Chain A
Amino acid sequence: RKEVEQDPGPFNVPEGATVAFNCTYSNSASQSFFWYRQDCRKEPKLLMSVYSSGNEDGRFTAQLNRASQYISLLIRDSKLSDSATYLCVVYKAAGNKLTFGGGTRVLVKP
């Protein structure tokens, strides 16, 4: 089983709609969680950190459920520019490294 798993998609989303997707992680010792965005043939860029209480950054909302070991990302009022692959990333101090999920591809269409 992969340490961080994501639905690869693609999620085809009409412009203006809301889309949400999850990521599950297997290691309960994981400490910090992030969503990164990666455009085709580009490096990943940090979108937002994910906190236990949930957090929002503009149209993006992230949630963490430690009991069920998943995190989620919700995008409201989708824009064409939101089309990208969203990477779920987990950090744990033991090992001292980031572990990336395979990514969820989102395609926003007019």
Chain B
Amino acid sequence: GAVVSQHPSWVICKSGTSVKIECRSLDFQATTMFWYRQFPKQSLMLMATSNEGSKATYEQGVEKDKFLINHASLTLSTLTVTSAHPEDSSFYICSATGDREIYEQYFGPGTRLTVT
């Protein structure tokens, strides 16, 4: 149990376009979802926390107008990278937690974004 999927697993897009990444909890209801970004050889950095039906809480330094997060249902959250630039190229990972403690997060397999 506790499976989280992400789609797509990798995407290449042109600079200036927008990309949407989906995160789904397959066998549990995710009351809270988290979006992380990881640059090569660096740590996972939390971008934002989203609760179903409410606005996401963004970490300091993360542009909410650039990284649009929607958590419309208990099984789906989306991250849209708007007007992507090469510096947005990164590994984006989501995680989800249900009725357990926040630290018991289940991670998706990640989405590798390359902006050309």
Chain A interface (Cβ within 8 Å of chain B)? Answer: 4, 8, 32, 34, 41-45, 87, 91, 96-103
Contact = CB atoms under 8 A, between A and B. Distances in A.
Interface residues of B, number: 19
A98 B43 contact: no
Given A43-B93, A45-B107, A97-B34, A8 B44 contact: no
A32 B105 CA distance: 13
Q: Please name the 7 residue pairs, one residue from A and one from B, whose CB atoms are nearest each other, closest first.
A: A91-B103, A43-B107, A102-B43, A100-B44, A100-B43, A43-B110, A43-B109
B49 interface: yes
Contact of B103 (A34, A45, A103): A34
Contact of B44 (A42, A45, A87, A96): A87
Contacts of B46: 97-99
